[in-house]
Amino acid sequence: MLKLTIHPDTIERLSSELARAGRREIGGVLVGEHVERNTFRIADISVQRHGGDRSCFIRQPEAHKAFMDDFFSRTGEAYERFNYLGEWHSHPSFSTEPSPTDIRQMMEIVTDGADAPPFAVLMITRLERGKVVCTPCVFSPDGRVELAELAVASRPNDDPAKPRRGWFSRWFGRPETPPVVRLI
């Protein structure tokens, strides 16, 4: 069984984005770190706020390219350690089980020829009474679909994959790094 960890800050971000989206489906990409055999931590998520309605979400790959480029840059392009884990999207009006469409689309990802990953995670989320509920499923090229184990764990202090958020971070670096500003 694949084991995944997720950080409290990622859960908070999911909660905020899910609340903002209301009854509209949203989603994005999961990226993470290979920690040990069959164990990965979800290091960051992208969020696509458009492309969804009450019962459908269509991921637009071009909307996630800058996110992926930034993630690989932050992690030193160490692809064997840090890489794409899969997808996430919300089911605000339905169960967090994958739909037949979800299953078909994830199987297309893991059977996409030479570029296909060895597996892909689909984490379906929703808010229930203010709490984030997640169902992570693992899709394999041989057609298997299995539940993954998901646990909450603190982010490492020296995490090279730590997300940069907000305009200040994008312009000046991480919040814990003092900005260098030159006045002219």
Taken in order of first residue, the domains within the chain and their CATH numbers are 3-152 (3.40.140.10)
* pLDDT average, residue stretch 6-27: 94
Q: Which whole number is the average pLDDT over 103-108? A: 95
134 compared with 53, residue with greater pLDDT: 134
pTM of this structure: 0.84
Mean pLDDT over 133-144 rounds to 97
- Residue 62's pLDDT is 76
What is the structure's pLDDT at 59? 74
**If 0-12 CB within 10 Å is exposed, 13-18 middle and 19+ buried, where does residue 43 land?**
buried
| Exposure string over 109-120, b if 16+ CB within 10 A, otherwise e | bbeeeeeebebb
